[in-house]
Amino acid sequence: MKIQNFYKRSCIGNGFTLLEIIIAISVITLISAVSFDASSRSLNRSRVNAVAIELAAWFQTIRTSGVDTAFCSVIFNPDQVTLALAPASAAASMVFRRGNRVYSVEPAGCSVQPDFRVPNSVEGSTFTIWSSPLFQFTQRGNVIQTASNLSVNNDVRILMGGTRLLRCVRTFDSVGLFRIGSNSDAVGVGADCAATSFNRF
């Protein structure tokens, strides 16, 4: 009898109170939420960066491997805009998903990869891409951007859906050098990337 009472007392004395358990669960929940938020932001950044980097590399490939006899014409949203209509079209934005065709290049000899599509690695994400309807690469690798409302920087702007993460792929001085800038607090695709961000990326 005495042994049983002693056992009950020692268990009660060494156990956790309800308040302690609630505090422990709250702390674990808070740490989990912060970790999930940080990893989610990191994943979003890596996805929008992947689109911008792959696009800049595709442009650069066209610039360096263009044909000698003709301009290489890159058409934005080729499923709705043709090469004949592109020069009279305005710079505009469209929403794209994984695998959607964003650009095409003509003639076919300008690039081994005739189309630029949203990479498969960004599954589940959407991107609003703002662009001039036509980029033309000369035989010397210079870039001519054509649009009916061209009074803006030579940018392609990529905004990830549901975030404020904006990346700008910009050509500098019409010589076909592509750089990527960033804006992590863009309110829309009409926002810009600061000039200093092109040196940091």
CA distances (Å), origin 34, targets 28, 31, 39, 177, 185? 10, 5, 9, 39, 20
Which of the listed ranges 63-72, 124-133, 151-160 does the model predict with the highest average pLDDT?
124-133
Residue 182 pLDDT exceeds 90: yes
- Tell me which DSSP letter residue 71 carries: -
Closest CA to 120 of 103, 102, 97, 104: 97
Residue 4 pLDDT exceeds 70: no
- Give mean pLDDT, residues 17-29: 83
Per-residue pLDDT at 62: 86
Reported as a single tens digit per residue, the pLDDT across 57-93 is 998 888 877 566 678 889 998 888 887 777 777 788 9
How high is the mean pLDDT of the chain? 81
More confident residue, 39 or 5: 39
| Long-range pairs for 77-81: beta carbons < 8 A, 24 or more residues apart | 77/102, 77/131, 77/133, 78/103, 78/104, 78/115, 81/133
Per-residue pLDDT at 49: 94
As a whole number of angstroms, the distance between CA 174 and CA 81 comes to 24
pLDDT-derived band at 164 (thresholds 50, 70, 90) equals very high
Six token digits for residue 172: 């500098």
CA distances (Å), origin 126, targets 108, 114, 185? 28, 22, 17
Per-residue pLDDT at 38: 63
Reported as a single tens digit per residue, the pLDDT across 103-122 is 999 887 888 889 999 999 88
pLDDT-derived band at 162 (thresholds 50, 70, 90) equals very high
Percent of the chain with pLDDT over 70: 81
Per-residue pLDDT at 104: 94
Six token digits for residue 103: 């650009």
Per-residue pLDDT at 6: 47
Per-residue pLDDT at 154: 64
* Total-model pTM: 0.77
- 128: how many CB neighbours lie within 10 A of its CB? 16
CA angle 127, 59, 151 (to 5 degrees): 70
Per-residue pLDDT at 22: 85
